[in-house]
Amino acid sequence: MKVLIFGSGGREHALAWAVKRSEKVTEVVCAPGNGGIAQIARCVPVDLKSLDSMVQLALAEQPGLIIVGPELPLSLGIVDQLQQHGLRVFGPSRAAAMLETSKGFAKRFLQRHNIPTANYAVCTTDEELQQAVEMFHPPIVVKADGLAAGKGVLICQSRAEALQAAQGLFTGALLGEAERQVVIEEFLEGDEISFLCLSDGKHAAALVPAQDHKRIGEGDTGLNTGGMGVYSTDTLLEPAMTEWILRHIAEPAIRGMAAEETPFVGLLYTGLMMTARGPQVLEFNARFGDPETQAILVRLDSDLVDALDACIDGRLAEIKLKWAQGASACVIASSAGYPGSYKTGHPIGGLSSAARVPGVEVFHSGSALLGNQIVTAGGRVLGVTAWADSLEEALDRAYQAMAEIEFEGMYYRRDIGHRALKKIS
Q: How many whole angstroms separate alpha carbon 65 and alpha carbon 82?
A: 11
CA distance 78 to 91: 9
Q: Residue 44 or residue 155: which is nearer to ligand AMP going by CB?
A: 155
Closest by CA position to 245, among listed 266, 218, 267, 274? 274
Q: Which residues contact 196 (CB under 8 A, 6 or more apart)?
A: 206, 207, 209, 210, 267, 268, 269, 270, 288, 289, 292, 296
Name the residue number minimizing CB distance to ligand AMP. Answer: 283
CA pair distance 188, 199, nearest whole angstrom: 27
Residue 282 as a binder of ligand AMP (CB under 6 A): the answer is yes
Residue 141 is a binding residue for ligand AMP (CB under 6 A): yes
> Which DSSP symbol is given to 64?
S
Could you say which of 271, 278, 326, 409 contacts ligand AMP (CB under 6 A)?
A: 271
Task: For the CB of residue 119, give the shortest distance to ligand AMP in the complex, in Å.
Answer: 9
Interatomic CA distance for residues 232 and 254, integer angstroms: 24
**Residues in contact with ligand AMP, shown as a per-residue x/- string from 174 to 213 under the rule CB under 6 A:** -----------xxxx---x---------------------
Task: For residues 386 and 391, give the distance between their C-alpha atoms in angstroms, rounded to a whole number.
Answer: 9
**Site pattern 142..161 for ligand AMP (x: CB under 6 A):** -x---------x--------
Strand ranges in 139-264 using DSSP code E only, listed in sequence order: 140-144, 153-156, 182-186, 191-200, 204-206, 211-217, 221-233
Under DSSP, is residue 85 helix (H, G, I), strand (E, B) or coil?
Answer: coil
Binding mask 230-269 for ligand AMP (x = CB under 6 A): ----------------------------------------
Nearer to ligand AMP, 62 or 224 (CB): 224
Asked if residue 38 binds ligand AMP (CB under 6 A), the reply is: no
Nearer to ligand AMP, 135 or 370 (CB): 135
In the complex with ligand AMP, the residue whose CB is nearer, 113 or 214, is 214
Task: Give whichever of 13 and 213 is closer to ligand AMP, judged by the CB atom.
Answer: 213
Instruction: Specify the residue, 222 or 345, whose C-beta has the smaller distance to ligand AMP.
Output: 222
Q: How far apart are CA 312 and CA 304, in angstroms?
A: 13
Query: Does residue 118 belong to the site contacting ligand AMP (CB under 6 A)?
Result: yes
Sign of the Cα torsion 360, 363, 368, 369 reads positive
Contact between 12 and ligand AMP by CB under 6 A: the answer reads: no
Give the footprint of ligand AMP on this chain (CB under 6 A). 118, 141, 143, 153, 185-188, 192, 271, 282-283
